[in-house]
Structure 1
Amino acid sequence: MMKSIRILLIGFFLYINTSFAQEQKFIAVEAGTYILGDTISLDNPKRSVSIPAFAIAEAELTNEAFAAFVSATHYVTLAERFRNAMVFEPGLEEFRWIQDSTAYWRFPNGISRGGIKDKMNHPVTCISYRDAVAYCEWAGVRLPSLDEWEVASRAGSETKYFEGVDLEKIINYANIWHGRNHLVADTTDGYLYTSPIKTFKANPLGLYDVYGNVFEFCEGALERDKGRKVAHARGGSWWCSKNSCASFNSQYIGSVNPNASFSNLGFRVVKKM
């Protein structure tokens, strides 16, 4: 049952259309006062926030949509320019990634590990925060704020997860790493890396992949940023497991250099109602 936090799923959907971009379905979130955060978190303390109405994409941005942006603008991502993308392969110790000069959004884990030819409906990855912002400026949308993302992901819950999810049931809702460690490949849920958007169950608001699949860039700053430009992302990714990271929830806020590109980082977009 939905808790006291007020979220309204409007009985219609909002759309964004450009001559090049993939059509996206947006879900409206009502303006209101929401309880966010956690009592033991320094980055995200429990608090009440007032947020204007907004509309958020039901799923993460796909390779298909990003390809349309690149086709229209000839944009070159930072990973392509600097050849510094960070990728993963089974066998690495916990929290260890490797730099692959061949990796970028078309080959998000490096050329040797295959490309996106048959994965156009997977979330785009191996892009930086600055690349995500460039897409948003072209498409007339924006990244969600840290608070907007949390409101939408919680879908009325005031707990760590949206209603219906716990560590045992999350396999139905999120593409995450189920192995004990990352030394051996894990395809328990059918995927080693990303999965197609909307493969797993949606949250009660109708958003897919808010947990797992890829971390999602958001706008906003934390006290520990101390005035520095730091990019933040939420929701966890395919790499996250119960034993490592475990950030596939509505409370955790991750941090990364705005110029960094990882094969488990993507985004979803927001627009005003």
Structure 2
Amino acid sequence: MKKLVYVSLLLILCFSGCHTNNQSSESESDLCCMPTTSQESRFLASPQTLGEAENNSSNQSLGDMVLIPGGEFEMGAKENQFAKPDEFPVHKVYVDSFLMDRHPVTNAQFREFVEATGYVTTAERRPDWQEIKKQLPPGTPKPPDSLLVPASLVFKSPDHEVSLSDYIAWWEWVPGANWRHPLGPGSSIEGLDDHPVVHVSWYDAMAYATWAGKRLPTEAEWEYAARGGNNDYIYPWGNEPVSAQRANFWQGNFPYKNVVEDGFQRTAPVGSFPANGYGLYDMAGNVWEWTADWYHPDYYAFLAQQVIALNPQGPETSFDPMEPGVPKKVIRGGSFLCNDSYCAGYRSSARMKSSPDSGALHLGFRCVKDID
């Protein structure tokens, strides 16, 4: 019973994990999403294709932010090998111009925010059982108090081959793990100022963005920016397969053997790999990144009914057929734990989701800003 309660707690508090590519991670749903009222956003420039945007842009940057020129693109999977059902159908989208952080928010940047505001992250707070049980089946017993402590998810590589469907085998709920102590008590971020901050929930990311006068990107903005000005690219760098020279990802047999060809066991300093066509770093690998949108597997099908979706803001409500009672936000970009055998999350169209109160060792964010 104690193990069952422990797993139940993980399902609510923890990142959902990736899923093997040889089985669908979604189930069919008859639910239909409705757009938010902000979908009627006005244009800041005449519609143009991604290629035209690339040609017309000076690719200028403003400090740590890069100008992403507005334009039209085809959102969704360009290939079938690794794509999941929720990456289809491909549909036309237009986004206005915006500014985007050149790289994920770093430990140094997040520390500045915390020191200025006194903010305490989700992982540093004791979980509220009254809130947790609202997302669990009625009658679920309360976990032992030893589990209801400030904690976060830490990756622990097993020493032997395990089933790729059993993510509990490599994720551990570690008391005391947070952005300051990424591996738990005794660990620190000393010397990691230029690494992406991790163990941040969606709420933490939103708090930082508000403080910085920015916001989180929509899912459409994120994918548009990730393609770097080329609508036909599968990855931010093009259509060539991922390699240790292109991104921070898992090389070897996941999750028990990492040969570390890229030189990084976990996160890498931001900007360690080449930028994409817009001058953005780490749009593939390193850490997953929060977006503003709620997750729903049928949202793309709704958008595809329109001639072109204008600045889509995501569905009004969330639904994940794997965990119907748990609202999820979309995360993008993959992480240092992704590889082709398990989680090809470094593809520009790849989608994953996590509950907004979750944090993990491979989950961070970057911000965007509107252009007035």
Name the TM-score, length of structure 2 as normaliser. 0.66
Q: How much does 1:185 deviate?
A: 4.3
Q: Which residue does the alignment assign to 2:361?
A: 263
CA distance in 2, matches of 1:122, 1:66: 11
Q: How much does 1:9 deviate?
A: 4.0
CA distance in 1, matches of 2:190, 2:237: 35
Give the AA of the match of 1:152.
A
Q: How much does 1:249 deviate?
A: 0.9
Q: Which residue does the alignment assign to 1:215?
A: 288
Q: How much does 1:42 deviate?
A: 3.5
Relative contact order, higher structure (CA 8 A, sep 6+): 2
In terms of mean alpha carbon deviation, does 240-249 or 143-152 score higher?
240-249
Cα shift readout 1:30-65 (whole Å, capped 9, x = no counterpart): 122111112665423201111111011111100000
Q: Which residue does the alignment assign to 1:139?
A: 212
1:4/1:98 CA distance change after superposition, 3 Å: same
Contact 2:233 2:239 in 1 (8 A): no
Q: Which residue does the alignment assign to 1:6?
A: 53
1:165/1:64 CA distance change after superposition, 3 Å: farther
Cα shift readout 1:91-143 (whole Å, capped 9, x = no counterpart): 2744330000010001112124x211110100000111110001011111011
Contact 1:9 1:205 in 2 (8 A): no
CA distance in 1, matches of 2:188, 2:238: 34
Cα shift readout 1:1-45 (whole Å, capped 9, x = no counterpart): x97463354353224xxxxxxxxx111111221111126654232
CA distance in 2, matches of 1:34, 1:5: 11
In terms of mean alpha carbon deviation, does 124-133 or 35-44 score higher?
35-44
Contact 1:141 1:271 in 2 (8 A): yes
Q: Is residue 233 of structure 1 aligned with residue 331 of structure 2?
A: yes
Q: Which residue does the alignment assign to 1:90?
A: 157
Show structure 2 runs of 5+ residues with no match: 1-48, 127-149, 298-317, 321-325
- Pair member with larger Rg: 2
Q: Which residue does the alignment assign to 1:101?
A: 175
Structure-to-structure mapping, 1:150-189, within 5 angstroms: 150-155=223-228, 156-167=230-241, 169-189=242-262
Q: Which residue does the alignment assign to 1:68?
A: 112
Show structure 1 runs of 5+ residues with no match: 16-24
CA distance in 2, matches of 1:5, 1:220: 27
Structure-to-structure mapping, 1:236-255, within 5 angstroms: 236-255=334-353
Cα shift readout 1:221-251 (whole Å, capped 9, x = no counterpart): 3333339641111010001112121211101
Contact 2:50 2:71 in 1 (8 A): no
Secondary structure, counterpart of 2:93 in structure 1 = strand
Give the AA of the match of 1:133.
M
CA distance in 1, matches of 2:255, 2:319: 33
Secondary structure, counterpart of 2:123 in structure 1 = helix
1:186/1:75 CA distance change after superposition, 3 Å: farther
| Aligned match for 1:77, one of 85, 104, 121 | 121
Q: Is residue 120 of structure 1 aligned with residue 193 of structure 2?
A: yes
Secondary structure, counterpart of 1:43 in structure 2 = helix
Cα RMSD for the two superposed structures: 2.1
Structure 1 segments of 4+ aligned residues over 4 angstroms from their partners: none
Cα shift readout 1:187-228 (whole Å, capped 9, x = no counterpart): 221111100000111112111110000001011133333396
CA distance in 2, matches of 1:10, 1:4: 13
Contact 1:5 1:157 in 2 (8 A): no
Identity of aligned residues (%): 32
Q: Which residue does the alignment assign to 1:35?
A: 74
Question: How many residues matched?
Answer: 261
CA distance in 2, matches of 1:185, 1:161: 22
